[in-house]
Structure 1
């Protein structure tokens, strides 16, 4: 079980590193005088680059039959680019560096999730028992970073990023590689997978549910600041969100049964809607922080159910690529829409209006998920 322990340690520090990138990049950009609309453009551009980079690295992983080596390469370059990014302030340079981060850093997430799922499966442990350590890392790092930056200043965020990055990279060198399929890769298999109506309907559902989630990722920190919150409160918000994930990852094996994935995505979508409506209704930044407790119910159930459903319909030899397609939709396409549209709405009408729009989007996802759920029940003769 040393392999699982090493993987858990890697998850802890990798997701700590990811918290700097996801949680504090928009806050860092805002501290450099970048407007909400320009933040949306920067993140949206990065998400577009992620659409291209994630399938690229996923295909390399499948064809080379290794996840670990590709992870080491992308993680190493992410460390270098991020170290420079968090010391930069000129808008043109920020566009270039943010693009570089999304090219190298964004693909590390689906690769890590695929590694987690397949190594856990090989060793007979539940995916959640590994991924929980990532949530703990994300939570603890968010809290530490938020309050540390209040003391040392946002201009030294690059030191925190470098510390977590080096530890994650070193641990990546000792984790096991994922078991790979011995089947020959076939482009025809991938075409059939992507052309299958059930797959297309599933990916549309992921897009609808992911847009408001990714918008929250981009603008939660900026929204808390706009209500008068400090950087420490932003870190606390992400800590609360991540620590709630830990609890639900622990309970997930009891909640998520095979064949119930669409039902659980429906549940997550309606709770997303409630969460965002409440965020729009309050004016106290501390209340927004407390509402992030709902992250455990929403993200953990939604994302894990999505992975489980995906793995039940995709050919074995394309699992890493399929995971990447899911990530392209979740982090790429939805990120572009959420960042560009979210930045524009925030600048025109404010943060409360943005969260109202996000809540409506979640309701649309809930309605569509309900239709798919009923369609599945009808097809199964239930």
Structure 2
């Protein structure tokens, strides 16, 4: 299956490129003397732009009935903007370029996930067998980039971004496009989907769990630095987190069954609470790095179960758009809240207080997921009784 091998290679390089943006953008901004509150403002504004751009590109993908061609466009523009971003230092220009990256780069992620899921379905393989290579890319790149930047300097990060970017684009040229639905798109279907009570409850759960997750994305590197860690250790933290994904992408198909998604989300939310609480109480950057081993079971379980649940309830012709709505909440709205609030809390009270706040929000997500779990059980019993 050459098409699957090409898709796996694309995932390897794409998520390597994404690690430069997600893992090292806040560190680069800190290097350019941007304060934690301004970092939060930059990422928050970027996330707001992402809220607008992700549905836009998702709708284009659905209407044009192609994912690959849209990725080629957004990825190519991301490479141009990012190459300039990682050479810039003026705050006004950073605001402009970070906004550009969120407009083009952020929508590429849900489109890639949708491509992975649908091609995997077409070839009869599990989504995780493709997405694992993304985790490998993110992990290896995080480690390589962290220690490389220690040697060449943060001011040359743009060359690292360019190398991974070119490799990603070349692989994108040879991947297969996703199979598309022949059904006509209907705005009424989407409105019904977005206003259906079960969907609204599900999206609220996603938001609660995603706020601390996205806050961690924005401030993990800054927190490690505040504890005395080097850029190399920041890369090691992301390497440990991403490496833990690999094992869980391989193991999850054995446990994640249709109809059990909310249970798995509840489990992930509980472990999120423990993870962030532990980060709040330690003061050694190496211990923070070790705690990132929990990232695999939290993120992989939560996100994969969320995608599976979404694809179970969404109309076929809106799958790419539905994936985008999920990404808007997970990476957009939650990113705005987490970045703005996280930057302010970090600057006023420090990183430990921030992680304690994140544990509290994750606890709310856990409690709410339990309520959804029990509600689903009652509904299933009611349906069984009627039958």
Give a deviation string over 1:101-123, Cα, whole Å, max 9, x none.
00000000000000000000000
Residue matched to 2:83: 83
The 5 Å alignment of 1:23-42 reads: 23-42=23-42
Equivalent residues in 2 for 1:19-168 (5 A)? 19-168=19-168
What corresponds to 1:242 in structure 2? 242
Runs of 4+ in structure 1 over 4 Å off? none
Structure 2 gaps of 5+ residues are: 383-387
Structure 2 length as normaliser, TM-score?
0.98
Query: Structure 1 residue 91: deviation in Å?
Result: 0.2
CA distance in 1, matches of 2:289, 2:83: 28
SS of equivalent to 2:34: coil
TM-score after normalising by structure 1:
1.00
Separation in 2 of the partners of 1:293 and 1:227?
A: 19
Q: Deviations over 1:8-29 (max 9, x none)?
A: 0000000000000000000000
Matched, 1:285 2:285: yes
Q: Deviations over 1:321-368 (max 9, x none)?
A: 000000000000000000000000000000000000000000000000
Query: SS where residue 106 of structure 2 aligns?
Result: coil
Structure 1, unpaired ranges of 5+: none
Distance 2:101 2:204 in 1: 26
5 Å-filtered alignment, 1:1-382, equals 1-381=1-381
CA–CA separation in structure 2 for the residues paired with 1:256 and 1:287: 30
**Aligned partners of 1:63, 1:252: CA distance in 2, in Å?**
33
Provide the C-alpha distance between the structure 1 equivalents of 2:18 and 2:205, rounded to a whole number of angstroms.
Answer: 25
- Indicate the SS of the match to 1:87: coil
What's the offset of the Cα at 1:258?
Answer: 0.7
Partner of 1:182, secondary structure, is: coil
SS in 1 for 2:177: coil
Partners of 1:328 and 1:379 lie apart in 2 by 29
Q: Secondary structure at the match of 1:76?
A: helix
Aligned length: 382
Query: Hey, what's the Cα distance between the residues in 2 that align with 1:330 and 1:78?
Result: 20
- How big is the shift at 1:255? 1.4
